[in-house]
C-alpha cells in the first residue's frame, strides 16, 4: 500500500506557482503603454485647449477693436477752424470724433481739490500699427495695434505722453490697413482738405506685413498678392460725409484678399 502511494505521488505533475519572467515583462510593457497613452492624451487635450483659448482671444480682440474703430469712425468730422479732419494712409488713420466726457468731469469737487485737466467732447483719434525697434539688431517689428487720443485740440503744445495719450490696445493683431471711398473710387490715402470720405474700409489681421512684402502685394506690374494671414474686413459708412455715391450703393471694394 505504501509503495502504491509513493508511486502515485511521483507520477502526479508538479503544479506551477507565480508568473514567469516573460509574463512579468509583458505586463510591465502593457502598463507602460497604457500610461504613455494616458499622458499623450492629457497633453493633447491641454494643447488643444490652449489653442482654442488663443483663437478665442484673437476673435474677441478682433471684434472688440473693429467695433471700437467703427463706433468712432461713424462720428468722424472736419474742423475747418483747426484745419484738421480725416487724414490717413494705408496703415494709419487720424480723425476728429465726438465722445462723452469722462465721469470725473461730472463729480462735485471741493475748492481745495487739485483741478482736473480740461476735457471736451471732441477728440483727435489715431489708429496705427505699433512699431518698435530691436536695439541689438537695429530692425523694426510690429508688436500690435495702438491708439492715440488727444482730448484738448487747442493745446499750445501737444506731445505724446502729455496731451496725447498713447495706448497699445492689442498685441493679438499686427496687421492694419485702411482704404477710403470718395463716392466714385477707392484710394489708399486721404487728406483733410478732401473732406470726410463717404466710407472707410478697415482690415485687421493677425500676421504683420513688412515694407518689402507690402511692395510685392501692391506691385502695379503684377496682380496684387493676397494677405496670407487671417483677416477681417469691414466697410464703415461715415454719415457726416458730404459726398454722394453713384447710385444707391457703394460701388466696388478694396482689394488685397483675406480670409
183-198 pLDDT, tens digit each: 889 999 999 989 899 9
Q: Which domain holds residue 149?
A: 53-101+118-237
Residue 183 gets the label, from left (phi > 0), alpha (psi -120 to 50) or beta, of left
Q: 190-202 in b/e burial notation, b at 16+ Cβ within 10 A?
A: bebebbbbbbbbb
> Which pLDDT tens digit goes with each residue over 149-177?
988 766 656 566 567 888 999 888 889 99
pLDDT band at 22 (very low <50, low <70, confident <90, very high): confident
Half-sphere exposure of 186 (CA within 13 A, CB side): 16
What pLDDT shows up at residue 183? 87
Contacts of 95 (CB under 8 A, 6+ apart): 72, 73, 76, 77, 85, 86, 87, 88, 124, 125
| Residue 254 forms part of a structural domain | no
Percent of the chain exceeding pLDDT 70 equals 73
Q: Give the three-state DSSP class for 71.
A: helix
Torsion from C-alpha of 238, 170, 258, 246, nearest 10 degrees? 10
**Is residue 87 assigned to a domain?**
yes
72-86, 87-101, 184-198, 213-227: least confidently modelled range: 213-227
Residue 84 maps to a domain: yes
**pTM of the model as a whole:** 0.69
With respect to residue 24, please indicate whether it lies within any of the assigned structural domains: no
Q: Is 47 inside any structural domain?
A: no
Q: Could you give the CA distance from residue 220 to residue 110 in angstroms, rounded to a whole number?
A: 63
> How many structural domains is the chain composed of?
1
The pLDDT, as a whole number, for residue 156 is 56
Amino acid at each position: 500500500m505504501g509503495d502504491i502511494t509513493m508511486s502515485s505521488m511521483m507520477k502526479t505533475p508538479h503544479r506551477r506557482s507565480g508568473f514567469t519572467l516573460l509574463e512579468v515583462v509583458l505586463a510591465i510593457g502593457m502598463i507602460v503603454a497604457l500610461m504613455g497613452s494616458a499622458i499623450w492624451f492629457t497633453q493633447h487635450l491641454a494643447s488643444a485647449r490652449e489653442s482654442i483659448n488663443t483663437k478665442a482671444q484673437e476673435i474677441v480682440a478682433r471684434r472688440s477693436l473693429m467695433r471700437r474703430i467703427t463706433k468712432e469712425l461713424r462720428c468722424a468730422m472736419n474742423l475747418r477752424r483747426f484745419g484738421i479732419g480725416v487724414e490717413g494712409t494705408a496703415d494709419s488713420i487720424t480723425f476728429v470724433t465726438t465722445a462723452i466726457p469722462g465721469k470725473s468731469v461730472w463729480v462735485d469737487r471741493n475748492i481745495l481739490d487739485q483741478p482736473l485737466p480740461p476735457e471736451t467732447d471732441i477728440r483727435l483719434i489715431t489708429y496705427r500699427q505699433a512699431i518698435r525697434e530691436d536695439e541689438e539688431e537695429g530692425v523694426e517689428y510690429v508688436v500690435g495695434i495702438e491708439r492715440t487720443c488727444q482730448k484738448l485740440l487747442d493745446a499750445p503744445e501737444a506731445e505724446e505722453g502729455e496731451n496725447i495719450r498713447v495706448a497699445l490696445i492689442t498685441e493679438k493683431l499686427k496687421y492694419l490697413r485702411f482704404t477710403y471711398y470718395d463716392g466714385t473710387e477707392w484710394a489708399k490715402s486721404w487728406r483733410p482738405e478732401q473732406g470726410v470720405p463717404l466710407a472707410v474700409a478697415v482690415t485687421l489681421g493677425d500676421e504683420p506685413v513688412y515694407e518689402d512684402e507690402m511692395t510685392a502685394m501692391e506691385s502695379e506690374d503684377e496682380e496684387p498678392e493676397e494677405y496670407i494671414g487671417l483677416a477681417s474686413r469691414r466697410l464703415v459708412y461715415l454719415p457726416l460725409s458730404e459726398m454722394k455715391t453713384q447710385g444707391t450703393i457703394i460701388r466696388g471694394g478694396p482689394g488685397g484678399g483675406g480670409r
